Amino acid sequence: MNVVVFASRKGGSGKSALTAQLGSYMAPNARPTLLIDADPQGSLALWHRVRGSQDLPLHIGTKHLAATLTKARRAGAEWVLIDTPPNAEAPVAEAIWHADLVVIPMRPGLFDVDAVQATIQMCRELKKPYAVVINAAPARNRSEDPMVVDARGAMQALDVPTWAGQITNRPELSLSLAHGAGVNEAHSGSAGSEEIGSLWRALTRSFDAMKAMAGTQAQSA
Ligand SMILES: Nc1ncnc2c1ncn2[C@@H]1O[C@H](COP(=O)(O)OP(=O)(O)OP(=O)(O)O)[C@@H](O)[C@H]1O
Ligand SMILES: [Mg+2]
């Protein structure tokens, strides 16, 4: 079971949006997925209510996280996506502690680049694999927007693993969420849907690589 935690101390960076978009992307592909809304704001839970469908189970709250994950594993969940609040408090640390991978969405911008560092620090202290995902970025023209180039440069200087792709700021991403859907469902084949698909493939590749590395280490132990 792959546990992915979406975390960033910065509000509005796209934690809930990416959790819902990836959850919706996984749903039709028959990957048993559990969503966990660990944010008292309840954005993911709201999206789930609007969705009104049972195809993606949702657990709300941070209490008994270990027990919830054990139950999900026994029930055959392959993926668990956990949305967290915009702070660096104990429930976020607990979610990160349970993570196999932490996704840190980051808008390109000075304040955003600065604010994610607290979350990066938490991942490092807890020795958890993490990656920054540049979200709500200006569209690529022939090359990346200067804002994105700057943001990547800042992450590189801090030695922070950063996804090579980007999720562009697109109205259809927000619009799909307003209807309880993902962009792959509401605007299938759109550029936004392609980007979410590409993020999904990057996630699966990371998990494959982590499992291969764990296998090699087990063999040489
Ligand atoms: N790539 C995108 N394109 C268009 N809109 C986006 C994109 N990413 C996020 N948004 C919108 O930006 C707003 C903030 O995103 P979201 O709620 O996911 O952030 P968050 O990190 O969960 O915020 P909080 O820390 O407050 O929980 C939402 O209205 C969301 O729909
Ligand atoms: Mg949120």
Atom nearest to 174 CA in ligand 1: 31
Q: Kindly give the confidence (pLDDT) of every residue in the chain, 221 residues in length, as a single tens digit, with 9 standing for 90 and above.
A: 999 999 999 999 999 999 999 999 988 765 799 999 999 999 999 999 999 988 899 999 988 999 999 999 999 999 999 999 999 899 999 999 999 999 999 999 999 999 999 999 999 999 999 999 999 999 998 999 999 999 999 999 999 999 999 999 999 999 999 999 999 999 999 999 999 999 999 999 999 999 888 887 777 77
* Residues within 5 A (CB) of ion ligand 2: 15-16, 43
Distance CA 25, CA 190 (A): 13
Domain around 32: 2-220
**Interval between CA 204 and ligand 2 midpoint (Å):** 23
Other Cβ atoms within 10 Å of 98 Cβ, number: 17
**Interval between CA 174 and ligand 1 midpoint (Å):** 8
Number of domains in the chain: 1
Q: What is the pLDDT of residue 214?
A: 83
CATH of the domain at 153: 3.40.50.300
Alpha carbon nearest to ligand 1 atom 14, residue: 12
Give residue 192's Cα distance to chain centre: 16
Q: What is the pLDDT of residue 30?
A: 56
Distance CA 115, CA 81 (A): 22
Which amino acids bring their CB within 6 angstroms of ligand 1?
8, 11-17, 39, 41, 43, 86, 135-136, 167, 169-170, 173-174, 177
**Interval between CA 12 and ligand 1 midpoint (Å):** 5
The candidate with the shortest Cα–Cα distance to 83, out of 18, 177, 178, is 18
